[in-house]
Homo-oligomer: A and B are copies of this chain.
Amino acid sequence: MKKIRLFTPGPTMVPEDVMLEMARPMDHHRTGEYRKITEEVIGLLKYLFQTEATCLSIAGSGTAGAEAAIVSCCPPGHKALVVNNGKFAERWRDVCAAFDIPHVTYDVEWGFGGKPDVVEKMMADDPKIDTVIAVHSETSTATLTDIEAVAKVTRKRNALLIVDGITSVGALPVKMDAWGVDVYITGSQKAVMLPPGLAFVAVNDRAWARIDSGKSHALYNDLMAYRKSIKDFDVPYTPAITLMRGARFMLRQIKEIGLEKIWAETTLLARATRAAATAMGLKVYSQQPSDSVTAMLVPSGIDEGALRKTMRSAHGLQLAGGQGSLKGKIIRISHMGYVDRFDTLSVIGGLELTLRSMGHKVELGAGLTAAQKVFEKRE
């Protein structure tokens, strides 16, 4: 009986009680009971995104939600700027390309966040840009972009700001309305602690005005269709009923605990992990690290694939590797959702043992001690 601990930045660990909640008998979605679930989830999503905007859910991965946001908000006649600082930003650029949405990219060196002043300059140089697409926490590089500052620029220039919050919402401070973000997207399998299969999208009135201004190539991912149904707490297409039931269960708990507390704890786990990395002689990859996931460079001489394989097979600790040009170069550890200090000690402990077994010089307990110091200071 190997205990598997998931440290991948999605899917993350899912609490046992929500799994059982979702295992309760199936019911139909065009019933009063299910409408109550939809209504409650909508309200709880407003809390999650810190917004009064329309919140909706789509049966699909976070990519479905982001595609819905981008395509619906960019009918013909608009031009997008994609802040391109990682694998997921590239995907949103690819959405623009696939749907013939005019766009330019602001190519940022991986490991860095997008700079608001560059966004502003690019917009000043090309007044056709009226939409900015940015990734809050770029999961592929574990890097944060200062969305609050980007939103100041987009609001100043009267542009629409669409933010991929897939590994930020529910983990890091996200204040959609206070910051002035127009569309925020997240997925179920990250900080919301559910299995994958649901995207959540928050859309404010500025975005709706844009969406209503033209016709996009969309049906399944057409936000208009969702808005039309949501008045009656209904959906245009069959929803992922079990996951929605899980969403109510988890979002209730998130609200009960309080976002501020969750954000603080996520940061604490990230700080402990970064301190442990340094103590183990590992370099944190990102220059502007996100607190929802930590990327560490694999020391030279150590095979990344073998490292992750041993972590899984010997210790049941599932990490993520790098994507794209970072393949084989980094490992990534999530701090989102149902992961606590002792889970974090587990992954650090596993790393110490595995690195030593592979010939990397690590003092036993060095990483653990560094993490403990961060934890104790916080008490």
B-binding residues in A (CB < 8 A):
4, 6, 8, 10-14, 16, 19-20, 22-31, 58-64, 67, 91, 94-95, 98-100, 187, 189, 195-197, 217-222, 237-243, 312, 318, 320
Contact = CB atoms under 8 A, between A and B. Distances in A.
Contacts of A318: 27-28, 31
A238 B61 contact: yes
* Secondary structure dominating the interface of A: loop
Nearest to A318: B28
B26 A13 contact: yes
A99 B64 CA distance: 17
B63 A219 contact: yes
13 contacts: A13-B26, A60-B220, A63-B220, A63-B238, A64-B237, A94-B219, A99-B217, A187-B238, A195-B242, A196-B241, A197-B241, A217-B217, A221-B221
B221 A100 contact: no
A339 to B, nearest CB: 12
A60 B63 CA distance: 11
A44 to B, nearest CB: 20
Contact of A62 (B196, B238, B312): B238
Contacts of A195: 26, 240-243
A195 B219 CA distance: 22
A197 B25 CA distance: 16
Contacts of A219: 63, 67, 91, 94-95, 98-99
Nearest to A26: B14
Contacts of A240: 61, 195-197, 240, 243
A16 B24 CA distance: 8
Contact of A238 (B11, B26, B28): B11
> Which one of A6, A14, A197, A218 has the greatest number of beta carbons of chain B within 10 Å?
A197
A11 B60 contact: no
Nearest to A187: B238
Contacts of A62: 237-238
A196 to B, nearest CB: 4
Contacts of A16: 25
B63 A11 contact: no
A242 B198 CA distance: 12
Given A27-B4, A28-B318, A67 B100 contact: no
A215 B95 CA distance: 13
B217 A100 contact: yes
Contact of A11 (B28, B58, B99): B28
Nearest to A239: B196
B23 A11 contact: no
The 3 closest A-B pairs by CB, nearest first: A197-B240, A19-B23, A23-B23
A309 B261 CA distance: 44
Given A59-B64, A196-B59, A23 B20 contact: yes
Given A58-B60, A59-B60, A195-B240, 13 more contacts: A6-B27, A10-B238, A19-B26, A20-B23, A27-B318, A28-B318, A60-B64, A61-B220, A61-B238, A61-B240, A64-B220, A196-B238, A196-B241
A237 B187 CA distance: 12
Nearest to A25: B4
Contacts of A23: 19-20, 22-23
A62 B4 CA distance: 32
Nearest to A221: B220
B28 A218 contact: no
